[in-house]
Amino acid sequence: MSRYTKEDIIRRVREDDIEFIRMQFTDIFGQLKNVAITASQIEKAVNNEIMIDGSSIEGFVRINESDQYLHPDLDTFALLPWRPQSGKVARLICDVYNPDGTPFAGDPRGVLKRALARAAKQGYAFNVGPEMEFFLFQTDEAGRPTTRTGDEAGYFDLGPLDRGESTRREICLALEQMGFEIEASHHEVAAGQHEIDFKYTDALTAADNIMTFKLAVKTLAQKNGLHATFMPKPVFGINGSGMHTNMSLFKDGKNAFADPQDGRGLSRDAYAFIAGLLSHVRGMAAVTNPLVNSYKRLVPGYEAPCYLAWSASNRSALIRIPAARGQATRVELRCPDPSCNPYLNMAVCLAAGLDGIEKGMTPPAEITENIFSMSAADREARGIQSLPGTLRDAVECLRADDGICAALGEHVLSQYVEGKLKEWDAYRTHVSRWEIDRYLVLY
Ligand code: GLU
Ligand code: MG
Domains plus CATH for the chain? 6-104 (3.10.20.70), 114-434 (3.30.590.10)
Q: What's the predicted TM-score (pTM) here?
A: 0.96
pLDDT at position 10: 97
Query: 365-377: buried (b, 16+ CB within 10 Å) or exposed (e) per residue?
Result: ebbeeebeebeee
218 φ/ψ angles, rounded to the nearest 5 degrees: -65, -45
Confidence of residue 290 (pLDDT cuts 50, 70, 90): very high
Secondary structure of residue 276 in the 3-state scheme: helix
Higher pLDDT, 12 or 191: 12
297 alpha carbon, closest ligand? 1
pLDDT at position 313: 78
pLDDT at position 162: 61
Q: Whose CA is nearest to atom 7 of ligand 1?
A: 303
pLDDT at position 1: 61
Assess whether pLDDT exceeds 70 at residue 157: no
Assess whether pLDDT exceeds 90 at residue 92: yes
The residue count of the chain comes to 443
CA–CA gap between residue 331 and residue 243 (Å, rounded): 14
Assess whether pLDDT exceeds 80 at residue 63: no
Residues at CB less than 6 angstroms from ligand 1:
133, 239-242, 297, 303-304, 315, 334
CA–CA gap between residue 201 and residue 52 (Å, rounded): 30
CA of 46 to the centre of ligand 2 (A): 39
CA–CA gap between residue 172 and residue 79 (Å, rounded): 15
Q: Which residues are catalytic?
A: 53, 131, 133, 188, 195, 244, 315, 332, 334
- Residue-by-residue DSSP string for 212-248: HHHHHHHHHHHHTTEEEE--S--STTS----EEEEEE
Assess whether pLDDT exceeds 80 at residue 272: yes
Which whole number is the average pLDDT over 323-328?
93
Q: Which residues contact 420 (CB under 8 A, 6 or more apart)?
A: 286, 290, 391, 394, 395
